[in-house]
Amino acid sequence: MHFYMDSKELTEGVLSVIKALPVRTTMPILEGIYLEATKDGVKLKCSDLMLQKECLLPATIEEEGFAVVPGKLFSEIVRKLPESIAEVTLSGKSLDISCGRAKSSLQCVEATEEFPEMRFAGETFTVRMDHNDCRDMISQTVFATAQDDSKPILTGVLLELGEEITIVATDAYQFARRSMLLKETVPERNVVIPGKSMIEISRMMDETEEDIELVFTKTHVCVNLKHSRLVARLLDGDYIKYKQILPKDHTTRAMIDKCELMESIDRAQLMAREGNNNIVMKFHENKLTITANSFAGKISEEMDVQINGEDIDIAFNPRFCMNILKCIPDEKIYMDFTTSISPCVIRPVKTEGFYYLIVPVRIYSNF
């Protein structure tokens, strides 16, 4: 292998693929970046077996070939190269990089041919979206995925496809659902994509200004941009039947200014953190009072709201409230309640397609 390429383009490529480099792995080869010089250019690839990122960079190829180099060290060296043309040569087990005054040799990872290739094959179907919509819908849902593996399917997000795209995520304490009409209707189908892969898909949206295509097979999803490509495994198994747990009705609806509410929760959670990490929200006579208590003291916040229905006292983990409120674009939100131990629905007043649910915590007598 022997090629010349712009050091800045090499840096951008490395920074793009390295997102799929696993933090911890039992397969040492996955700690490497796969590098291949082909007649089309230089291909870089990282994989953690669930997610694979690749890019193809323009280069002057003197000799084709491939190698796997230690990912972290290679990326650090490449990032600090002077802006110039880098000459890259594989000689034996050593990858030599020469760029201006800087010369380095990296020991390649052995057994290069064992670097896993994610197969993306079989019948495909394609979902086309605006890149901004795609990024926004992901960030407005993915926070609600489970962070632990006790129910593996909940570490993913559900995509319900058809006339609309609906993205659902829940960890059983918080629930997020975003829907949007698709530009082109696709056959009805549900898939579950790991949360981590969804975050990488949303990051890729910054690299383009055009509509993007999510291409699915039975087992994988693929996103192609001009110079880079992501392939991710879908999660096996069925997502939970969430529709049966969504509240059918409510007895109290409050209309609240979102920014006021966020500022108040932001302050109240300082005191909540010193105690049992709960804030109590009391909806009485068009006033909302938020309180947080701990051995260290008390915070209370009052604001005008519009209440339809019965007064209610309810308590929440403030972090879950903030996660949801951050996603809502409107100035005003609805909070819909039935009892102080049933889930509360949070929605923007005007914008369609947002539906959030949050499970309250029990209020103990000392409040």
The site for its own copies (CB under 8 A) is made up of: 70, 73, 76-77, 80-82, 94, 101-107, 260, 263-264, 266-267, 270-271, 274, 295-303
* Closest CB to its own copies among residues 129, 271: 271
- The number of beta carbons lying within 10 Å of the beta carbon of residue 342 is 14
Q: Please report how close the Cβ of residue 263 comes to its own copies at its closest, in angstroms.
A: 7
Tokens 């055009």 — which residue? 210
C-alpha–C-alpha distance, residues 197 and 117, integer Å: 17
| Dist. CA 295–CA 215, nearest whole Å | 54
Handedness of CA 73, 207, 153, 354 (dihedral sign): positive
Give the shortest CB-10-to-its own copies separation in angstroms.
15
Residue tagged 């918080």 (tokens): 174
Which of 69, 76, 23 minimizes the C-alpha distance to 45? 69
Give the integer Cα–Cα distance in Å for 182 and 270: 41
Cα gap 361→358, rounded to integer Å: 10
**24 vs 101, beta carbon nearer its own copies:** 101
User: In this complex, which beta carbon is closest to its own copies, that of residue 94 or of residue 139?
Assistant: 94
Q: CA–CA separation, 201 vs 33, rounded Å?
A: 19
* Contact yes or no for 20/52 (Cβ under 8 A): yes
CB of 285 to its own copies, least distance (A): 17
Taking the complex as a whole, the smallest distance from the CB of residue 80 to its own copies amounts, in Å, to 5
Compare residues 299 and 325 and give the one whose CB is closer to its own copies.
299
Q: Which residue, 106 or 153, has its beta carbon nearer to its own copies?
A: 106
Nearer to its own copies among residue 160 and residue 260 (C-beta): 260
Whole-number Å distance between alpha carbons of 204 and 227:
11
Which CB sits closer to its own copies, 41 or 70? Answer: 70
76/236 with CB nearer its own copies: 76
Cα–chain-centroid distance for residue 367? 37
Task: Name the phi and psi angles at 296, rounded to 5.
Answer: -85, -15
- Percentages helix, strand, coil for the chain, rounded to the nearest 5? 25, 45, 35
Least separation in angstroms between residue 90's CB and its own copies is 13
Q: Which residues contact 283 (CB under 8 A, 6 or more apart)?
A: 252, 254, 305, 307, 311, 312, 313, 314, 337
Amino acid at 179: S
Give the residue with the Cβ less far from its own copies, 44 or 271. 271
Q: How far is the CB of 295 from its own copies (least distance, A)?
A: 7
Give me the least distance between CB of 86 and its own copies, in Å please. 13
In SS3 terms, 177-195 reads as EEEEECCCCCCCEEEEEEH
Q: Which residues pair with 86 in a beta bridge?
A: 5
* Minimum distance, C-beta of residue 102 to its own copies, in the bound complex (Å): 5
Q: How far is the CB of 140 from its own copies (least distance, A)?
A: 25
